[in-house]
A and B are shown apart, each in its own frame.
Chain A
Amino acid sequence: MSLVYSGVLSHAPGITGRAEMVDNIEKRDEFYAALEQQRQDINDAKAEAIIVIAAEHFANFFMNNMPAYCVGIGETYEGPIEDPEWLAIEKTTIPGAPDLGKRLTRIIMETVDVAYSEEWKFDHGIMVPLHFLTPDYDLPVIPVNINCQGPPLSPLHRAWIFGEALRRACDQVPERVALVGTGGISHWPATPDSGKINEAWDREFLDRLMSHDKNALLGYNDENIYRDAGQGGFEIRTFITAAAAAGGKGDLQFYTAELPIFAVGCTVASFSLN
């Protein structure tokens, strides 16, 4: 039928794995409530499958053969790849949507060269979103990866074009498809600076994202992202792709920099589909 939902959310492993180490319990629970609302919104949209645009962290892709963009077309997926106790998410099997994934990939390939994979081990970058958005793992998932870890990285304007290609593809299939982009904004994950968040930079980026200001969004480059937003900031590609797929302005449902133990500014937002 078409794309029926587009949004973004954070995926940092601390969101589940370090939940009990949080000082600001009230803020944490507000964040969880916003994620629950996002789950309901996707459910209300009657999505038959969900595309998760992720920025995986060397669980599947390495510098021996790194795709800029990859779509999952597997029957099933296993996750999390991490220690279940560390992530506080049990290992499970997640249903894929191979037929839909292949049809979408063919259409995407009209304008963007993507890799595809029938094998994919989900890391926290996908498992944390699924834990909140489809906790029973009963919604077929199409994982999509954008390389945000091992430079050289695809330029931001290509991430935008990829989002437009995803939208064209979703609008040409009979299924009702939801899409989320999941990444961090400014953050320095898994480094000695873990927990540092540049809130001003985050809010400026979110303003550009919510106002669907393409030129402003594409005005960043990896040099100034690294300087101001850390290597974790490279993951804004996933948010930009989700915005481009939606085509409309955003509604920022939650943002806080007050949960540093999660090592990211925690974000939940949805976009109008135009």
Chain B
Amino acid sequence: MSLYNLQKFLYELNRDESIQNQYNENIDALLSKYTLTKEESEALREGDIGLLYVLGVNGQILMHFAAFLGIEWFDYLDKMREGIKNHGVVRDGVYTMTGGGKSFTTEEKGR
């Protein structure tokens, strides 16, 4: 578990267009600059929002990665909920689960 490095990678990706280009062009070379576990690298490579959430990535960092990947808002919420379903509760970071990942917005229910 190296949540600090995982979040640092996403923090830098979110704010630096050249890193975003590297992500798209040669992700292996980019990821090799960070000390990450195999699970973390794979989650980044696959854009696995659900697993990244469970690993403890702060949503304020994660939602921008999702937007960068072209994931729509409600799909982003769904992916986190699927992550909890598939991988269990959040393992590290600022969150412990405070809800069941239910739909809370009327707008979401009506989509």
Quick one: which of B67, B104, B105 contacts A83, CB cutoff 8 A?
A: B67
Q: Is B55 an interface residue (CB 8 A)?
A: no
Across-interface contacts of B8 in A (CB, < 8 A): 62-64
The B interface is mostly helix, strand or loop, or mixed, namely: helix
Across-interface contacts of A21 in B (CB, < 8 A): 73, 107
Quick one: which of B11, B98, B110 contacts A188, CB cutoff 8 A?
A: B98
How long is the Cα–Cα vector from A81 to B102 in the complex, in angstroms?
Answer: 29
How long is the Cα–Cα vector from A33 to B60 in the complex, in angstroms?
Answer: 28
Q: Which of B62-111 contact A (CB under 8 A)?
A: 62-64, 67-68, 73, 77, 80-81, 84, 94-95, 98-99, 101-108, 110
Quick one: which of B59, B103, B105 contacts A189, CB cutoff 8 A?
A: B59
Q: Is B4 an interface residue (CB 8 A)?
A: yes
How long is the Cα–Cα vector from A262 to B51 in the complex, in angstroms?
Answer: 25
Q: Is A181 an interface residue (CB 8 A)?
A: no
- A86 engages B67 (CB within 8 Å): yes
Q: Is B41 an interface residue (CB 8 A)?
A: no
Quick one: which of B14, B59, B101, B108 contacts A81, CB cutoff 8 A?
A: B14
- B101 engages A195 (CB within 8 Å): no
Q: Is B38 an interface residue (CB 8 A)?
A: no
Across-interface contacts of A59 in B (CB, < 8 A): 14-15
How long is the Cα–Cα vector from A60 to B73 in the complex, in angstroms?
Answer: 23
Q: Is A174 an interface residue (CB 8 A)?
A: no
Q: Which of B2-34 contact A (CB under 8 A)?
A: 4, 7-8, 11, 14-15
How many of A's residues come within 8 Å of B, CB to CB?
Answer: 35
Q: Is A16 an interface residue (CB 8 A)?
A: no
The residue of chain B having its C-beta at the shortest distance from the C-beta of A193 within the complex is: B99
Across-interface contacts of A67 in B (CB, < 8 A): none
- A194 engages B67 (CB within 8 Å): no
Given A230-B98, A263-B105, 8 further pairs, Cβ under 8 A: A57-B61, A58-B61, A63-B4, A63-B7, A188-B99, A191-B80, A192-B84, A261-B107
List of 10 A-B pairs having minimum Cβ-Cβ separation, nearest first: A190-B59, A192-B101, A195-B105, A57-B60, A195-B104, A260-B105, A193-B99, A190-B63, A261-B107, A196-B104
27 chain-A/chain-B pairs, Cβ below 8 angstroms: A18-B73, A22-B107, A23-B106, A23-B110, A58-B58, A59-B14, A59-B15, A62-B7, A62-B11, A63-B7, A63-B8, A64-B8, A81-B14, A83-B64, A86-B67, A150-B94, A190-B59, A190-B60, A190-B62, A190-B63, A191-B95, A194-B77, A195-B103, A195-B104, A231-B94, A231-B95, A260-B107
B binding-site residues for A, Cβ under 8 Å: 4, 7-8, 11, 14-15, 53, 58-64, 67-68, 73, 77, 80-81, 84, 94-95, 98-99, 101-108, 110
